[in-house]
Amino acid sequence: MNKKRTVAMIAGLLALVFLLTFTACQKLSTNKLRANYHFSKANQFFKDGKYRRAIAEYENTLKYNPSMVDAYRFLGESYKSLFKTQDQSRENLEIANKALAALTKAFEFEPTNKEIIYSLGDMYDKMRNFEEAEKYYLKILELEPTNMNNFYVVAEFYKRYAGEKEELKRKVEGMYLRRIELDPEEPQGYAYIANYYDQITPIPDFDKAVEFQKRRLQLDPDNAEIYYTIGVNRFFKAYRLQNILSLEEREKLGKESEAALLKAIELNPSYPDSYAYINMVHRNIFAHVYPDRASRHIAEADRWMEKFNEVRKRAMEKARLEKELKRVE
């Protein structure tokens, strides 16, 4: 084969390769444009809450670009939005499986994407599949072990099952305590765990809640809201456990409640609820603990209720004026 013929053949092959490559690139470019077009439409349907139409468009997106992670993710989110908890129908279970399939595919592409991991955990949670949901929620902690908000996410997850599994109460506490360990000088961490103890059903752990509120108070001693919260806690322990506690215990709790609420008023006299709770301390605690002085405590309760109405009226008027000023601006 002479040199000229060889060069011609090579040139022909190069031209063919270029043509094929150009055609493939052109096709890829066209597919990408089509995928973006359907993805944009799908996102608008998703924002409008038209999830079935969004699903169709996300699926069209993936026909043209089967590696678009966000299309899988929001396809899963669309199915998840259609899922109804506690509905055991075949259609609803199919929706759940399609949501999981799409989100799992997104996770395969991006195994460190926190939003995708959370969404998978949330989907299993909605299905009441505790083991699978826990696996994904704990992955969030593994990815961001110093992000304090993640501990709250996992704690809230455990709380939803704590009524069914007693041992999960310890896991809830553990999440809040680990958050405090990360930043023991941040008062908010103590507020979260105190709020958890205050909301335990059927009977809150009143004393543990107050213990953490007092630790919070050491870091933020001029915070009226903390004193108010302690006052409310002491009132509810005395009131809700009145058939269990002795008169002396209820008297002590009533005095602790009143002292904390008075301090809250001293620090923030414009907050109405502090006055309302002092009214209840006199009316519902002291009037029963001191039956011979009941009328006096009822009169004192009425006085605090009048103050509550005055302060609330001023607060409402202030809010009205602020709203009008914003409208003028």
Please report whether residue 135 resides in a domain: yes
Are the beta carbons of 283 and 297 closer than 8 angstroms?
Answer: yes
CA distance 254 to 279: 11
User: Does residue 304 register a pLDDT over 60?
Assistant: yes
39 contact partners, CB below 8 Å, separation of at least 6: 57, 58, 61, 68, 70, 71
Q: Which of 180, 203, 202 is nearest to 190 (CA)?
A: 180
Half-sphere exposure of 8 toward its Cβ, with a 13 Å CA cutoff?
5
Please report whether residue 36 resides in a domain: yes
- CATH number of the domain bearing residue 70: 1.25.40.10
Q: Which residues of 54-83 are buried (b: 16+ CB within 10 A; e: fewer)?
A: bbbbbebbbebbeebebbbbbbbbbbbbbb
Please report whether residue 300 resides in a domain: no
Please report whether residue 212 resides in a domain: no
Q: Tell me, what's the pLDDT at 22? A: 38
Q: What is the pTM of this model?
A: 0.78
Number of domains in the chain: 1
Structure tokens at 127: 């299905």
Please report whether residue 259 resides in a domain: no
Please report whether residue 82 resides in a domain: yes
The model's confidence at residue 329, banded by pLDDT at 50, 70 and 90, is: low
- Sequence letter at residue 296: R
Please report whether residue 251 resides in a domain: no
Q: Tell me, what's the pLDDT at 2? A: 53
What residues make up the domain containing 123?
A: 32-143
Please report whether residue 43 resides in a domain: yes
For range 150-172, the mean pLDDT: 90
The model's confidence at residue 20, banded by pLDDT at 50, 70 and 90, is: very low
